[in-house]
Amino acid sequence: MRILIVGGGMGGTILANNLARRLHREMRDGKVAIQMLSASDRHMYQPGLLYVAVGRMMPQDLYRDQASLLEPGIEFHVDPVEEFELDANRVKTKSGKAYGYDVLVIATGSRIYPEGIPGLEEHGEFFYTEASALKLFRRLREFEGGKVVIAVGVPHKCPMAPLEITFMLHDYFKDRGLLDKTQLHYTYPIGRTHGLENVAKWATPEFERLGISYETLFNLKEVDGKRKVLLSEEGSETPYDLLISIPAHRGMEVIEKNGLGKSGWIPTDRHRLNMEGRENVYVLGDTTNLPISKAGSTAHFEADTLGENLAAMIRVGAPVRDYDGKVFCFIEAGKDRATYAMFNYQNPPDPKPPTQAMHWFKMAYNQLYWASARGIL
Amino acid sequence: MGDDKVKVVDATGSFCPGPLMELIGQLKEMEVGDVLELLSSDKGSAADVPEWVNKVGHEMVGTEEKDGVWHIRVRKLK
């Protein structure tokens, strides 16, 4: 049984390690082989970019060598896939090699897509790549006051990020003595301040308490950089001095180029996690088209389920459980307070008031992530 | 109605980002004139979706509830 995992992020790494632990005997006896193909030899802790933007983590803190995170016996290649030949059970890579498989898992993740909004790439600041997070850090260091607008595209990775950057910026400007010269203005696509009703119920009074203005039903249509004005699909205009955007995301180009899913999202069964119409192809994390959070946490819990199921299918011929939609998200509520949201397909979350203890738990998790990727936590 | 190209988006169980966010994201990728049918288990969607659709200038085609799931049809007009 040859298991091929394409993508060395959170989902692919947890799955590979989970399977290697469960199937070490079968791997030793030559009955199971696990291969991973990735575009990079390094693994990035993506949530750390938020802290890089406000100068609380350095870029080098975010990386580990991917090979160092993998269990012995997993064959790892830095060789991105260029062609998926699903009917022939094989992929072709950049180096020109072909890799066959019995089971394929696609976990290629997502990327920001600011190009979809005229003017956004040139005039907006982001924190979803190392370069853009550092650029935002420098812009914030030079900032002397004015109107800071947060603009949110759909769909985007980590639905908590718009709130977190807003609350963290509030405390950042406060610490630097700039709060009285700064107006923080939060915008959001739907008719409340967050997609989760209970999170919106908590966030809206927080905005009011902290003097953060907000505008709901705001979907960015265009950035007029000359006039420094944002135009929304809903017909409003909002001036800005500093534009910080959570841009819309797309799946990876290779997914779209191979016709596996529009905009790079692969149609996926919400419980079994197989690609629709394919029994031996599975999809994890941001790469799915599932209507749940695009976040490392989602990939983590999906990978746990899939690891258990694939191992059971090899040993007893059938999967043992369904993925229930579980997601757990920390929510930074400033520089030293945080809360969390936990939910699944059936049960909405009920976030509690933020505490310092939860913030320190999040700080600890920023390090524990590496244990999590290894499949230990 | 019979000739409409209808795309069904199953957003049942979507607490985060939420059914309306799913609809906004999916509608962007569709052609003008196409109809999207959103399935939502959140009764709030029956009010949230028309509010947004009217504000942006798309068209509400219809809404009905079947076995606790709201079927909300929207035509993309721009």
Half-sphere exposure of residue A93: CA atoms within 13 angstroms, side-chain side: 17
- Cα torsion B17, B23, B24, B25: sign: positive
Write phi, then psi, for A18 (nearest 5 degrees).
-60, -45
End-to-end Cα separation, chain A, in angstroms: 27
Residues of B recognised as catalytic: 16
Nearest residue, CB atoms, B16 vs list A235, A262, A341: A341
pLDDT of A219-263, one tens digit each?
A: 999 999 999 999 999 999 999 999 999 999 999 999 999 999 999
- Between chains, do A190 and B18 touch, taking CB under 8 Å as contact? yes
The SS3 call for residue A371 is helix
Question: From chain A, which residues contact B within 8 Å (Cβ)?
Answer: 116, 154-156, 159, 189-191, 195-197, 199, 217, 219, 233-235, 248, 262-263, 270, 291-293, 325, 327, 329, 341, 343-346, 348-349
pLDDT of A304-357, one tens digit each?
A: 999 999 999 999 999 999 999 999 999 999 999 999 999 999 999 889 999 999
The answer, yes or no, to whether residue A87 has pLDDT greater than 70, is yes
Q: Which positions in chain A touch B58 (Cβ < 8 Å)?
A: none
**Is there a contact between A73 and A20 (Cβ–Cβ < 8 Å)?**
yes
Question: Strands A103-106 and A281-283, how do they pair?
Answer: parallel
Residues pairing with A200 in the sheet: none
Q: Which positions in chain A touch B10 (Cβ < 8 Å)?
A: 270, 291
For residue B7, give the nearest of B31, B38, B29, B36 by alpha carbon.
B36
State the ipTM, two decimals. Answer: 0.93
- Cα torsion A67, A68, A69, A75: sign: positive
Residues 6+ away with beta carbon under 8 Å from A78? A38, A39, A40, A41, A66
**Is there a contact between A190 and B52 (Cβ–Cβ < 8 Å)?**
yes
The answer, yes or no, to whether residue B1 has pLDDT greater than 70, is no
Question: From chain B, which residues contact A within 8 Å (Cβ)?
Answer: 9-22, 24-25, 28-29, 44, 48, 51-52, 55-56
Alpha-carbon distance of A89 to A101, in angstroms, equals 6
E-strand ranges in A286-377 read 327-332, 338-343
E-strand ranges in chain B read 6-10, 35-40, 59-66, 69-75
Residue B14 in tokens: 């979507």
**Is there a contact between B16 and A163 (Cβ–Cβ < 8 Å)?**
no
Half-sphere exposure of residue A152: CA atoms within 13 angstroms, side-chain side: 32
Write phi, then psi, for A248 (nearest 5 degrees).
-60, 150
pTM, rounded to two decimals: 0.96
For residue B45, give the nearest of B20, B8, B76, B13 by alpha carbon.
B20
Residue type, B76: K
Q: What pLDDT is stored for residue A46 in this prediction?
A: 97
- Between chains, do A293 and B28 touch, taking CB under 8 Å as contact? no
> Which residue on chain A is closest to B28 by alpha carbon?
A154
pLDDT of A177-210, one tens digit each?
A: 999 999 999 999 999 999 999 999 999 999 999 9
Residue B78 in tokens: 């721009």
